[in-house]
Structure 1
Amino acid sequence: MSALRRISPRGARRRPLTAVALACCCLAATGTLTGCGGGNGGGSAASATPTAPDTASFSGTLPSALASSASSAVASARASASAAASSAAARASEFEASVSAEGERRTAAARKALGDVKGGGNARSDVAMSGIPMSQTGGVLAVLLTITNRTDKKASYAVRVDFEDKDHHVVETRYTGAENLAPGKKEQPVVFSHKPSEPRLTPRLAKAQRY
Structure 2
Amino acid sequence: MVASAFVAGALAGCGGGGGGGSAATGTPTAPQTGTFSAQPLPSAIASSASAAISSVQASASAAASSASARASEFEASVSAQSARRSAEAEKALKGVKGRGNAVSEVGMTGLPTAQTGGVLAVMLTITNKTDRKASYAVQVDFEDPHGKVVETRYTGAENLEPGKKEQPIVFSRRPAEPKLTPRLVKAQRY
Percent sequence identity over aligned pairs: 69
> In structure 2, what is the Cα distance between the partners aligned to 1:86 and 1:135?
29
Partner of 1:165: 144
Superposition RMSD in Å: 2.2
Displaced runs of 4+ in structure 1, greater than 6 A?
none
Deviation at 1:67, TM superposition (A): 3.3
Structure 1 gaps of 5+ residues are 1-13, 21-57
2:185 partner letter: A
TM (norm. structure 2) is: 0.78
2:69 partner letter: A
1:48-76 CA deviation, whole Å, 9 max, x = no partner?
Answer: xxxxxxxxxx975532x333322321221
Alignment of 1:99-178 (within 5 A): 99-178=78-157
1:149-190 CA deviation, whole Å, 9 max, x = no partner?
Answer: 000000000000000112211100000000000000000000
Asked if residue 62 in structure 1 is aligned to residue 10 in structure 2, the reply is no
1:34-56 CA deviation, whole Å, 9 max, x = no partner?
Answer: xxxxxxxxxxxxxxxxxxxxxxx
> In structure 1, what is the Cα distance between the partners aligned to 2:124 and 2:13?
92
> In structure 2, what is the Cα distance between the partners aligned to 1:66 and 1:136?
51
Determine which structure has greater relative contact order: mean sequence separation of CA pairs < 8 Å that are 6+ residues apart, divided by chain length.
2
> In structure 2, what is the Cα distance between the partners aligned to 1:19 and 1:84?
64
Deviation at 1:78, TM superposition (A): 1.5
Secondary structure in structure 2 of the residue aligned to 1:134: coil
1:197 partner letter: A
Rg bigger for which structure? 1
TM (norm. structure 1) is: 0.71
Structure 2 gaps of 5+ residues are 1-7, 15-37
1:111 partner letter: E
Partner of 1:196: 175
> In structure 2, what is the Cα distance between the partners aligned to 1:116 and 1:103?
22
